[in-house]
Amino acid sequence: MIRYYVRVSSMEQKTDRQLMAYDGADIVYADKMTGATKDRPQLQAMLNDLKSGDVVVVKSIDRLSRSTKDLLDIVDTIKEQGAGLRILDMKIDTSDKLGEFFLTVLGAIGQLERKTIKERTREGIAIAKTKGKYTGRKKGAIALKGDALERFKRFYGLGMNKSDIAKEFNVSRPTIYKWIDELKERGEIE
């Protein structure tokens, strides 16, 4: 059985592009939430439904996961069930050793890229501070702590839409993205 997994990051986004990319699936699983966690209902349903000989198809590697660790865990689960993985954009098929190796390398490169971006950002801020051009958070920004912080992390982890989170906390969407970046930097969320 061919199981096609599609994912977009928010409820406003459409899965049309992914659905048009492949029409050979026996069943389609679609999530509308972040790829930063592997706790996604349709992903888990697909993994639970897998049988030996099945093939999981995704349009691109980031639809499966944005975390190297989670990606490798998902691939391991697929392999343990005796199923294969096909990534359309990269023409990768894990049914052979080369495809499996290539997938591991790509996941590691993605993680390295994210770490490099964070490092460059920190360096840029440090340079700006030495020149007196960076004064930190803009006035009026709300700091998250206590119950509000835990509630925010729960909503984020569930893949709640950023606009809905902003309404819940009575802040702008850019503030939500700042909170996400800060919490990721502190290692409190992925």
Please give the order of strands across the beta sheet that includes 2-8.
27-32, 2-8, 55-58, 84-87, 92-93
* Alpha helix positions (H), the chain: 16-21, 41-49, 61-64, 68-80, 97-130, 146-157, 162-169, 173-185
Nearest alpha-carbon partner for 144 in 111, 169, 114, 107: 169
Nearest alpha-carbon partner for 50 in 16, 76, 32: 76
Query: What radius of gyration do the chain's Cα atoms show?
Result: 19
Active site residue 65: no
DSSP string, 54-89: -EEEESSHHHH-SSHHHHHHHHHHHHHTT-EEEETT
Of 9, 10, 65, 163, the active-site residue reads: 9
Cβ atoms of 142 and 126 within 8 Å: the answer is no
Q: Which residues are catalytic?
A: 9
